[in-house]
Amino acid sequence: MTNRRNFLKTTALASAGLAFQAFKSESRGENITAPIKSTKPIVLSTWNFGLQANAAAWEILSKNGRALDAVEAGVKIPEGDPNERSVGYGGRPDRDGRVTLDACIMDELSNIGSVACLEHIKHPISVARAVMEKTPHVMLVGEGALQFAIAQGFKKENLLVEASEKEWKEWLKTSQYKPIANIENHDTIGMIALDANGNLSGACTTSGMAFKMHGRVGDSPLIGAGLYVDNEIGAATATGHGEEVIRISGCHLVVELMRQGLTPQKACEEAVMRIVKLTQNRGKELKDIQVGFIALNKKGDYGSYCVQGGFNYAVHDATGNRLLDANYFLK
């Protein structure tokens, strides 16, 4: 029987946002309620702009909203910010001076939607969601994605801001395509969330590698590469050199590793180690590569790992919103 002490303990833990599992104590033959160390709601996102994005997602999660709505609202913050030069409006263009955007979204029922090489639309994540909810398909690209967006009422606008145009013109002087790991050159926002009802969703959106070849698509709009959600297990998203993430079907791998019993942290580490091994096998320099994963499981445990230092991610739960440095392989 639940005695008062247990009830008080339960109430206190419940108000702290923890989840419970009732079980019968073998030794004492009484029902007690023990925490299963579950934190929900919780939201994680890549890089330091994740703090602001998490805050927007938290508005929804803290009111018992759906993880899907939270991740869409969250990533729209950097998408709409002209000063964020690697996502949405303000993103750096490709080598032809065109801002082409990639995004995907996945919900707790494994509904998926994606757009790639989409131009002129400020919020590709919302177009990806429309693909998911309003078409029989899962991915639209280029001109077709733009036509669909316009038909859905999205506004066609110029996304190339002055600062990005200036950088591009500077780049044209040498036209050297040399992807640089971390920070200025490419920062994608990937966001994964667990809502108060225990459902997971994720979103990922980017302008991709700066000055990429026109038509180049990275991992970010590819379900299984830049994002994956399995509502029974967990969710993962990635940032960094998309080619390397695609090579290992990165986020699907992370989720499958969690299914096999690895913690989110260990699953991210194992996925990064695959990249390390394949890079070395192919005789390429690891120092030229950056990939970071973040992962969250069904209990609200999370983790992150990347190839080299410099990657951080933001976590928001009932205790607050914070930025964490990811641990990394190349010391």
Q: Which residue numbers are catalytic? A: 188
Under rule CB under 6 A, residue 206 binds ligand SD4: yes
Note the maximum CA span of the chain: 77
User: Around Cβ 34, how many Cβ atoms within 10 Å?
Assistant: 14
Q: Which of 50, 208, 224, 234 binds ligand SD4 (CB under 6 A)?
A: 208
Of the candidate spans 77-85, 122-130, 181-189, 195-203, the one that interacts with ligand SD4 by CB under 6 A turns out to be 181-189
Tell me whether residue 196 or residue 276 sits nearer to ligand SD4 (CB atom): 276
In this structure, the strands spanning 42-46 and 312-317 are antiparallel
Question: What is the closest distance, in whole angstroms, from the C-beta atom of residue 267 to ligand SD4 in the complex?
Answer: 19
Q: In what order do the strands lie in the sheet with 234-240?
A: 227-230, 234-240, 291-297, 302-308, 327-330
Under rule CB under 6 A, residue 219 binds ligand SD4: yes
Q: Which of 90, 124, 218, 224 binds ligand SD4 (CB under 6 A)?
A: 218
Compute CA distances 323 → 49, 252, 320, 330, whole Å.
9, 25, 10, 21
Compute CA distances 248 → 38, 57, 91, 316, whole Å.
29, 29, 26, 28
Query: Three-state DSSP class for 252?
Result: helix
Rounded Cα distance between 139 and 124, Å, is: 12
Question: What is the closest distance, in whole angstroms, from the C-beta atom of residue 55 to ligand SD4 in the complex?
Answer: 21
Q: Which two tokens stand for residue 271?
A: 């996925």
Under rule CB under 6 A, residue 199 binds ligand SD4: no
Under rule CB under 6 A, residue 188 binds ligand SD4: yes
Of the candidate spans 157-165, 193-201, 206-214, 248-256, the one that interacts with ligand SD4 by CB under 6 A turns out to be 206-214
Q: Which two tokens stand for residue 296?
A: 């969250």
Under rule CB under 6 A, residue 41 binds ligand SD4: no
Under rule CB under 6 A, residue 120 binds ligand SD4: no
Site string for ligand SD4, 238-277 (x = CB under 6 A): -xxxx-----------------------------------
Binding site for ligand SD4 (CB under 6 A): 186-188, 206, 208-209, 218-220, 239-242
